[in-house]
Copies of this chain bind each other. A is one copy, B any other.
């Protein structure tokens, strides 16, 4: 335990040269005789010398660490984002400092501080539900640490981001429901205060409008809440619902469970489209039609943008909106 690692000074002492010579030899720069270099490289290897990353960070004022803040990892969506990010950080030789926010404002704030204190070279983050207080992100910006937002957007935050075109994706889904004959379409909306909820609902309402269909307040239910089953049953009792567009595949799954209880035939009586193309979409039967998001690409692009900002030391704000794909499976009819 507590073994001391061999330092550049140790090597210097052995050879009777100075630390600077060792440093130069090992870093391949500065003038140094080929003989010395070989000698030192060999010695370093023999002694298992490994440069102290911490010390390097301190003098370079650069850590080669990126802070990544995600809500959680239970959704496959975020895993794929992580994989996309890693694909670029790995080959760039950067490390990921990962924090999860659990959608909690407090953890979000703490994570930002942690990242700043750790002197990360940049931050990739998904903003949480409560967009009321953005000070922690503003502090990041004020601090001069590059920040790229993922998945969700914060209107009031003047920074780079990568999102998917939720409006377009939703619009397309609802349009499909309409084209395949649905005329009483429910929307199961997502959590308040996150941009994706807003945009997906907007896609729904605009699709209705464009097709001359009436928007009804009572056709929009909030998923993920205790009263959901009761609420849904109430609408189903009252209205001839024939289509459902859900904020997520999980909400869609909940709907299907309830419809199964009511012995509703899917998609003959009611068509359903979810969102995200989580694995469950393929496991349930009938398989769930859904809007697929390019999660891996979101992560990849976000990381690439972050590196562009870091490496070019630019203040430029880069934004990117990726397209979704409507994946038709068993819970929808053909058009």
Contact = CB atoms under 8 A, between A and B. Distances in A.
Interface in A64-110: 65, 72-74, 76, 79-80, 82-83, 86, 90, 95-100, 107
A82 B3 CA distance: 29
Contacts of A82: 73
B53 A118 contact: yes
In this complex, the member of A5, A54, A95 whose beta carbon has the largest number of chain B beta carbons within 10 angstroms is A54
A159 interface: no
A321 interface: no
B100 A97 contact: no
Given A98-B96, A114-B95, A279-B280, A119 B3 contact: no
Number of copies: 2
Nearest to A55: B58
Contacts of A95: 97, 99, 114, 118
Contact of A100 (B3, B57, B86, B285): B86
A315 B1 contact: yes
Say what secondary structure dominates the interface of chain A: mixed
Contacts of A107: 90
B144 A1 contact: yes
A293 interface: no
28 contacts: A1-B144, A1-B315, A5-B143, A50-B113, A50-B116, A52-B117, A53-B118, A53-B119, A54-B54, A54-B57, A54-B63, A54-B119, A58-B58, A72-B79, A73-B73, A73-B79, A74-B79, A74-B83, A79-B79, A83-B100, A86-B100, A95-B99, A95-B114, A96-B98, A97-B97, A279-B279, A284-B284, A285-B285
Interface of A: 1-3, 5, 50-55, 57-58, 63, 65, 72-74, 76, 79-80, 82-83, 86, 90, 95-100, 107, 113-114, 116-119, 143-144, 253, 279-280, 283-285, 313, 315
